Amino acid sequence: MAKQTILVVDDEKDLLDLIEYNLRKEGFNVLKAENGEEGIAMAKEHSPDLVLLDIMMPKMDGLQAVEVMRKDAELKRIPIILLTARSDEKTEVEGLNKGSDDYITKPISTTKLISRIKAVLRRFDEKEEATNILEVHNITIDRDRYIVYKDGEEFHLPRKEFELLFFLASRKGKVLDRQTLLNKVWGDNIYVVDRTVDVHVRKIREKLGDHYIETVKGVGYRFKE
């Protein structure tokens, strides 16, 4: 199973290092940023599974960062937890209304923090798994039966081609780099090269047409909106 990646954004370096250490012990990959602007840029580049976000930071605070992410086609699906020293109800309500998935006040034990992170990830995974039939453009992707329908015609794709198509289509409009696709579709314990993704995309295009999956030069692929 692929390791999940957590992006931690906080301007307290000691806290960043502590959270990173404990998340890595739990088997997560960890990315770190020290302000909202840097966090947004890293989220766009690496497509993490969850963002843990402080509120009071330089350049762009956490509430602004949540707002930017929820309006961005590439980032709006990523779950966000606000971790902050601000415990007033007004700020908590504002953070949740802007689109964060949880609001945690400091100080909190690392054990409880990791438990809350796992709970949000579980909710997100369950919501994703509930979507077993996708209808995009003129195709229907049925994950229960591993069948793709295009204008009523059935297509039976090999398993990895199907899973790659479903993963891209379920994140329509989001640019996904090759490494992310390899980790999510093949798993990070399986050794395959970037070229594997290109070959599978080419085969999908040969069967369904080349106007669904767009190549983003130097980055990866995006399922067109």
Give every strand in the sheet of 133-136, ordered side by side. Answer: 133-136, 139-142, 147-150, 153-155
d(CA 29, CA 179): 13
Q: Where in the chain is the domain with CATH 1.10.10.10?
A: 131-223
Residue 173, pLDDT score: 86
The answer to whether the beta carbons of residues 98 and 68 sit under 8 Å apart is no
What residues contact 22, with CB distance under 8 A and at least 6 apart? 110, 113, 114
> Average pLDDT of 76-87?
87
What residues contact 225, with CB distance under 8 A and at least 6 apart? 73, 172, 173
Residue 131, pLDDT score: 62
C-alpha distances (whole Å) from 208 to each of 78, 143, 154, 155, 201 are 28, 17, 10, 8, 10
Helices (H), the chain: 13-25, 36-46, 62-71, 89-98, 110-130, 159-169, 178-181, 194-208
pLDDT > 70: percent of the chain:
93
Q: Is the pLDDT of residue 130 over 70?
A: no
> What residues form DSSP beta bridges with 6?
30, 50
pLDDT tens-digit readout, 24-35: 999 999 999 999
Q: Where in the chain is the domain with CATH 3.40.50.2300?
A: 5-129
Of 48-57, 70-79, 123-132, 173-182, give the lowest mean pLDDT range. Answer: 123-132
d(CA 1, CA 3): 6
Q: Which CATH number does 131-223 carry?
A: 1.10.10.10
What 8-state DSSP symbol labels residue 4?
P
Residue 126, pLDDT score: 64
Q: What is the pTM of this model?
A: 0.62
Q: Is the pLDDT of residue 49 over 70?
A: yes
Of 98-102, 113-117, 182-186, 206-210, give the lowest mean pLDDT range. Answer: 182-186
pLDDT tens-digit readout, 178-219: 888 888 887 755 566 778 889 999 999 999 998 899 999 888
Q: Is the pLDDT of residue 40 over 70?
A: yes
Residue 115, pLDDT score: 92
Query: How many other C-beta atoms can be found within 10 angstroms of the C-beta atom of residue 129?
Result: 9
pLDDT class for 99, splitting at 50, 70, 90? confident
The answer to whether the beta carbons of residues 175 and 222 sit under 8 Å apart is yes
Residue 41, pLDDT score: 92
Q: Is the pLDDT of residue 87 over 60?
A: yes
**What homologous superfamily is domain 5-129 in, according to CATH?**
Response regulator (3.40.50.2300)
Residue 123, pLDDT score: 80
Residue 204, pLDDT score: 93
